Amino acid sequence: MCGRLNQYARIPSFRVAGLALEIKRHLAKAREDKRSRIYILNNICPTDYADVVIQEEDGLAVERMRFGLIPNWARGSKAEVSKKFTRTFNARSDSIFELGSYRQAIRKRRCIVPARGWHEWPDRTTPYYIHRSDDQPLWLAGIWDVWESNAADDQEEPVITSMSVVTTPPGTYMSKFHDRSPLVLEGDAISNWLKPNLQESDLRTLLEPYECPHLEAYRVSTSANSAKNKTEEVLHPISPPVPWGDAPPEEPPENEYLKLF
């Protein structure tokens, strides 16, 4: 599962199909909803807005999208669909081609969600922050859609652009923390994921658990449990990183790591 994201103040450079690309945030793109103009970087929760990379005819672009996909066929007012689709922030790889909320988007509207890392709760109460120990960005595979309201009350801002992060079974390290993991892409897989006409058989070959020796997880304060906490505090370690061969301690004391200093 991936229900809490952390992003960058500036999306880092990355290489796709041999081209060096610098994608900067575009405030002018944040037009779908007034909330999308509020730049949340830490502890991005479902229904918050996040930076998403999409493929357009003239190249790559960054859009602000609601975290939690609303399919284009959803019926109701803006308030009604926003309330109804609160659990569509993850799309499972084993059902993404069949479920009505996702099957159009996986075939036609794929995206990349650049992340510093994400949070998991192995015991439902103790938060761990997962990131790359070399501080390189993680490129999460996503799907997106555009919903437009016909309700008279919504005509001032009738459109919601939204996305979901694709999840797979966990890799070796991630299996310590959850039975699902975001689909992380690297190298040519990034540009392949964004190709508009990729066949389903080719897409399925990309839906593999992420194995990376640079993945690292450590405990953070339980203040990260609050969706309202958008500060850097949610990233600060209070325990050493969990080694690859170890499982997270079941109930570690809150300040064990801090006592070392």
Domains of the chain: 5-118+136-212 (3.90.1680.10)
- The amino acid that residue 244 corresponds to is W
32 CB-side CA count, 13 A: 21
Say if residues 162 and 65 touch (Cβ distance below 8 Å): yes
User: Residue 28 phi/psi, 5° resolution?
Assistant: -65, -20
Task: Tell me the C-alpha distance between 155 and 145, whole Å.
Answer: 19
Task: Tell me the C-alpha distance between 190 and 13, whole Å.
Answer: 13
Task: Tell me the C-alpha distance between 92 and 212, whole Å.
Answer: 20
Element (H, E) at 6: strand 5-6
- The amino acid that residue 90 corresponds to is N
The tens-digit pLDDT sequence of the chain (261 residues) is 688 999 987 665 555 544 334 444 443 344 344 444 456 789 999 999 998 989 888 778 888 899 999 999 999 999 999 999 999 999 999 999 999 999 999 999 999 999 999 999 998 899 999 999 988 889 999 999 999 998 777 777 789 999 999 999 999 999 999 999 999 999 889 989 999 889 999 999 999 999 988 999 999 999 999 999 999 999 999 999 999 876 665 554 444 433 332
**Structure tokens that stand for 142 in this block:** 């996503």
Q: Is the whole-model pTM more than 0.75? A: yes
